[in-house]
Structure 1
Amino acid sequence: MKCMSQSQDSGKDQSKSSVKCPPDKIIYDANMGARICLETGEVIEEQVIGDEAEWRAYTPDEKARRTRVGGPLSLSKPNMGVDVYIGSFHEGSGKKIRGLSRRIDMLRLQRSFRMGRTLSSLEKNINQALKILDELATHMELSNKVREEASKMYRDATQKGLTRGRSIESVVAATLYAACRKLRIPCTIDEIAKHLSIKDNDVKREIARCYRLLVRDLEVDIPVIEPELFVNRIVSALGLPDYVAVEAIKILREARGKGTTAGKDPSGLAAAAVYLAALKHGLRRTQKEVAHVAGVTEVTVRNRYKEIAGEAASKLS
């Protein structure tokens, strides 16, 4: 009981000291491992673990050389962005290695390490896929969030054996499309396919198959994407004014209220709505032009247009 009362008393004393000392006067002494009040000299807190670097650096070069903390872990980088680096000109203490023979020894050690490190077939597959994914995402100007999500899906797919017997590019494209859908970013398979090195006519069909496989086996929760999300991009690509986008969104909302949009591809609906809105304002664009920028077929635009225009026939006349 005495021990308890003593610890309680010391706790009260510490709290009283910290109340007396203004917060801006409390400093951390790394040598003592304690927080001290500059005004009274009292020890506010003892046995504090410091979170700053234990080394000193006076120039940016010194700081870069001595720091042991790299960039954040990233699923979109090979080996999660973590790698082993053997320096050739500095010791662990930061001192320069002197003497030509010692430097040559370090260079030999570096070379031996690089040659001795072998990657498994799984690692090689992932590294190749991440490189393709990065190139695709860069071409399409997609955010890091999309890259990370797509990278996670690809890693999960390899762990489940879903990539076996399938083209790496097709699976990567499918993960990128799934990531965009999951994050509600307007994107079509056509857009992704045109940036692939594979120019096979069946590539879009293969991406769609891989996408369905990923969604099913990885249990990816894909939210419903509203066609309105595609409108501004289509309008901008066609060089149409903003009021056409406003009109197209209005047309889509009216069509949704009447059940015309249920179960239809959002990009096709958006393309048809933009085509119809442009016609209403006397700004003619061909169905072929609209289909091309929307990433859908001309037949899709024509069919969706007939369905939507049928619902808005009274307003077209």
Structure 2
Amino acid sequence: MVCPTCTDCGGTVIEYDVAAGNGFCVRCGTVVEENTIVNEIAFGETSSGAAMVQGSYVAQGASHARMSGPYGNRGSNESREQTIANATKKIQSIAAIMRLSEQVCLSATRLYTLAVEHKFTKGRKGINVVAVCLYVACRQKETRNYMLIDFSDLLQVNVFELGHTYLQLVQTLNLRLPLVDPSHYISRFAALLEFGEETHRVATDAIRLVQRFDRDWMTRGRRPAGICGAALLLAARMNHFRRSVEEIVQVVKIADTTLKKRLEEFKNTPSGALTLADFRTVWLEDEVDPPAYTKGREKEEADKLAAEQEAVGTEPQKKKGKGKKKGKERKNKRKRKRGEGEGEGMVIMFQMQTLTRKATLTARPLLCHHSNLWILRS
């Protein structure tokens, strides 16, 4: 047994007061130990003369002594410890299904214990708190292959309820979690899309796209699933795989509108205008403003221009999209007035468009939008 030393004078002569459970230095009087737990067994006598063991048993991980009574172990644990024990069993069962490490389980158990101490579990579903604690533990232990929606699918719980509980837990415990890198999910989603032997090549291009998105401020404040979906769709088309928007949406579990927004934002960046060969070899050091900032600035400029036009007395320009119904009616009238010669005109126009397309074949951008379909350019 190693004898304790005084932290002030370095003395080794320590005197203990067994009744108070304290130990102090004889040389300077500094209290070295206090509230010590004695593991010795002491016996006493009851009023009837029967022998009894003095003291109480404190289990590992418990904060209070176990109560003695005629029922033995039954009903002796406190409600708090019973709640933590039940949550620990749920954490271990979920971790076994999702193949999480023991460190993640221990971290999730500690988080749940802190949540109980802060009375965070009152009024909330226990399974939601357990799932959120596991997710936070995965984030802290660099095990970032799982998202919150994975726990939602496994437990059949609304993902928005889990998200709300997660935000409240982070705020209550004052946690600082690292930002999620969407590139950590690329390999997982690429395997689900079944690219065969080209999976590694597609994943490499997708990771490069994610890095480009991050350079252009497209990943900040966005869910990683949308970033991964846009990157995988572009990477699949870059490697001549026909993967539709519906297939990507089913794998990454996002809305198709979210995916199209990410593609539209990438189209407005300088990298979106590069050819396929240039994108793989050239890395643009310039970065653009965040899409939210650009959209807000365009709106402010439009409002300012409209205010200036109203001050001058001219009518402000109508926003794009107004008067579509009237335009369609005029277009239908022109179609009805056209005769049989329309077919020849369409053939000539198609031939002119084909020649123009062949002339500009070498300078096509990486991404363009046509008829609500995203087409990659090589």
* Residue of structure 1 equivalent to 2:145: 186
- Partner AA of 2:123 in structure 1: G
User: Which of 301, 307, 313 pairs up with 2:259?
Assistant: 301
Report SS of the residue matched to 1:139. Answer: helix
User: Which of 245, 254, 274 pairs up with 1:314?
Assistant: 274
Q: Using the TM superposition, give the Cα deviation of residue 310 of structure 1 relative to its aligned residue in structure 2, in angstroms.
A: 3.9
Structure 1 residues without counterparts, runs of 5 or longer: 1-77, 82-110
Q: Using the TM superposition, give the Cα deviation of residue 163 of structure 1 relative to its aligned residue in structure 2, in angstroms.
A: 0.6
User: Which of 49, 64, 80 pairs up with 1:122?
Assistant: 80
Output the CA distance in 2 between the equivalents of 1:313 and 1:80.
60
* Residue of structure 1 equivalent to 2:220: 262
User: Which of 104, 108, 119 pairs up with 1:161?
Assistant: 119
The structure that has the greater radius of gyration is 2
* Residue of structure 2 equivalent to 1:131: 89
TM-score, normalised to structure 2's length? 0.51
Q: Does 1:228 align with 2:180?
A: no
Does the C-alpha gap of structure 1 residues 292 and 129 become closer, same or farther in structure 2, counting only changes over 3 Å? farther
Q: Using the TM superposition, give the Cα deviation of residue 249 of structure 1 relative to its aligned residue in structure 2, in angstroms.
A: 0.8
1:151-183 residue CA offsets vs partner (Å, 9 max, x unmatched): 111110000001100000111111111112222
1:51-96 residue CA offsets vs partner (Å, 9 max, x unmatched): xxxxxxxxxxxxxxxxxxxxxxxxxxx9649xxxxxxxxxxxxxxx
Output the CA distance in 2 between the equivalents of 1:219 and 1:291.
34
- Partner AA of 1:205 in structure 2: F
Q: How does 1:44-59 map to 2 (within 5 A)?
A: none
Output the CA distance in 1 between the equivalents of 2:129 and 2:191.
30
TM-score, normalised to structure 1's length? 0.60
Does the C-alpha gap of structure 1 residues 296 and 120 become closer, same or farther in structure 2, counting only changes over 3 Å? farther
Q: Using the TM superposition, give the Cα deviation of residue 112 of structure 1 relative to its aligned residue in structure 2, in angstroms.
A: 6.0
Spell out structure 1 runs of 4+ moving beyond 4 A: 78-81
State the number of aligned residues.
Answer: 207
Output the CA distance in 2 between the equivalents of 1:309 and 1:236.
26
* Residue of structure 1 equivalent to 2:351: none
Q: Using the TM superposition, give the Cα deviation of residue 243 of structure 1 relative to its aligned residue in structure 2, in angstroms.
A: 0.2
Q: How does 1:1-80 map to 2 (within 5 A)?
A: 80=61
1:193-247 residue CA offsets vs partner (Å, 9 max, x unmatched): 1111xx45xx211111111111111111201121111111111122221100000
Greater helix proportion: 1
Root mean square deviation of aligned Cα: 2.4
Output the CA distance in 2 between the equivalents of 1:190 and 1:118.
38
Report SS of the residue matched to 1:194. Answer: helix
Q: Does 1:238 align with 2:197?
A: no
Deviates more, 1:283-292 or 1:127-136: 283-292
Report SS of the residue matched to 1:224. Answer: coil
Q: Does 1:207 align with 2:154?
A: no
Cα pair 1:228 1:252 within 8 Å, conserved: yes
Cα pair 1:237 1:293 within 8 Å, conserved: yes
User: Which of 239, 242, 252 pairs up with 2:210?
Assistant: 252
Q: Using the TM superposition, give the Cα deviation of residue 124 of structure 1 relative to its aligned residue in structure 2, in angstroms.
A: 2.1
- Partner AA of 1:131 in structure 2: K
- Aligned-residue sequence identity (percent) comes to 27
